[in-house]
Structure 1
Amino acid sequence: MIINLSTTHSLVSNWVGELRHTDIQTDRMRFRKNLERTGEVIAYEISKTLEWEEQEIPTPLGISVCKVMKEQPVLATILRAGLPLHQGVLNYFDKADNAFISAYRKHHRDGSFEISIEYVSCPDLDNRILIISDPMLATGASLVKTLQALKAEGQPKEIHIVSAIACTVGIEFVRREEPTVKIWCGAIDDELTAKGFIVPGLGDAGDLSFGSKTQS
């Protein structure tokens, strides 16, 4: 299932527009905040699909029967670009367990690259709801490899992917490899460059959030 929030003309569309804008995105704090707010709205939308149960809640004047989440999800993200988006999801699922993965493109002289994973910190995922944040779903290669690494820590019963911008190529690849995932995104672009960058996209989300880095 793919949920593209830009089709609803919500505030997410406005924030994604600012994330893309070459003048506005030079403000790193605003860029991170727009990713965070996008994560918050998507977290709210995801919450509508989860299981809830009635619980008696004591108040100063009596008892109220309220609906509460039946279980807490596990929130995961790919370092470092995913941190602001992850924070937005965590703001709403504030009692959730968390997982962190370092997955990056290891570039070669010929212009090709491979996905390298060097660090995984994760709770047991058996029969848990997993929500993974990745601001740019481009080729989908790093996301699929990340999911494979996470599944070594247990088999989730449900997987949600949260992205600010996704590319149709990456969406199709992820769905081939992980057909049951639900993909939530702020916008979908159709073009991908030979080097695996989304067009028009927004550039490098990690660099725009935290500053440029040397290529490895």
Structure 2
Amino acid sequence: MQVQEILKNNSIANRFISQLRDTGIQTDRMRFRRNIERLGEIMAYELSKELEYENKEVNTPLGKSEVPMPKNELVICSILRAGLPLHQGILNYFDDAENSFISAYRHHPDNDEKFEILVEYLASPSLEGKTLILADPMLATGRSFSNVLNALGSMGKPEKIHLVSVIGSDEGVEYLKSEFPENSKLWIATIDHELDKNGYIVPGLGDAGDLCFGNKMQH
């Protein structure tokens, strides 16, 4: 699996990541969601450079013009609920893509730091021969992405898989390299080096789902 880390080169994306991490700013849920959405747009633009293109003739007021247009059949799959703003950012640029939604969450069966990733809901078109874009803002252990890929297995085999995330950990990235096909690619804004004992990214930014949509009751 290839890895493209956006913040290895300085850009306006630095500002959006800074605001997502900043405890003085991130409590503004609307701005938090919008910053994730904007990073989704940035990564969708970068990802678009690796799609396949074919010429399309366009009629202008003064003649005709040939424009290379992407020809891939795209399916964007976001992991509920934190993935929704990232999904929207990608969809803003790939507005004719099909869409898939799946739930994946941390279940603590013994009410301690040990958890398992459970997948309980899936709505998806066929993935056969298409380009699948998996979106989840936080890549901690990598188990959510892996479990979602397994759950999507019955939907058909995609021709290419792209993963899009905002902040990840070294451990999570290495885990995905062992779980995803070699020709898949991870697009991620930045990678932190640590996971704490609860499997959260350090320094990270906290719980992206709660910061986007408010605290949830545990079950």
Fold conserved between structures, TM > 0.5:
yes
Choose from 147, 159, 178 the match for 2:180: 178
Q: Secondary structure at the match of 2:121?
A: strand
Separation in structure 2 between the aligned mates of residue 71 and residue 144 of structure 1, nearest angstrom: 23
1:89 Cα offset (Å): 0.2
Is this contact kept in 2: 1:39–1:89, CA < 8 A? yes
1:58 Cα offset (Å): 1.3
Aligned to 1:197: 200
Q: Secondary structure at the match of 2:156?
A: coil
Is this contact kept in 2: 1:72–1:93, CA < 8 A? no
Separation in structure 1 between the aligned mates of residue 72 and residue 79 of structure 2, nearest angstrom: 23
1:15-94 equivalences under 5 Å are 15-94=16-95
Aligned letter for 1:193?
A: D
Aligned to 1:206: 209
**Number of equivalenced pairs:** 216
1:201 Cα offset (Å): 0.2
Q: Secondary structure at the match of 1:152?
A: helix
- TM-score, normalising length: structure 2: 0.96
1:150 Cα offset (Å): 1.2
Separation in structure 2 between the aligned mates of residue 42 and residue 111 of structure 1, nearest angstrom: 32
Is this contact kept in 2: 1:32–1:209, CA < 8 A? yes
Separation in structure 2 between the aligned mates of residue 94 and residue 170 of structure 1, nearest angstrom: 29
Cα RMSD between the aligned structures? 0.9
Separation in structure 2 between the aligned mates of residue 153 and residue 179 of structure 1, nearest angstrom: 17
Choose from 128, 137, 148 the match for 2:130: 128
Is this contact kept in 2: 1:129–1:156, CA < 8 A? yes
Aligned letter for 2:82?
A: A
- TM-score, normalising length: structure 1: 0.98
Separation in structure 2 between the aligned mates of residue 42 and residue 123 of structure 1, nearest angstrom: 23
Aligned letter for 1:173?
A: Y
Structure 1 unaligned segments of length 5 or more: list them: none
Separation in structure 2 between the aligned mates of residue 65 and residue 47 of structure 1, nearest angstrom: 19
Is this contact kept in 2: 1:35–1:164, CA < 8 A? yes
Is this contact kept in 1: 2:113–2:197, CA < 8 A? no
Separation in structure 1 between the aligned mates of residue 133 and residue 106 of structure 2, nearest angstrom: 22
Is this contact kept in 2: 1:5–1:13, CA < 8 A? no
Q: Deviations over 1:87-141 (max 9, x none)?
A: 0000000000000001111112243111111111111101110111100000001
Name which of structure 1's ranges 170-179 and 28-37 shifts more when overlaid on structure 2: 170-179
Choose from 154, 162, 166 the match for 1:160: 162
Q: Deviations over 1:48-91 (max 9, x none)?
A: 00000111111222211111111231101000000001100000
Choose from 150, 171, 189 the match for 1:169: 171
Sequence identity percentage: 52
Q: Secondary structure at the match of 1:25?
A: coil
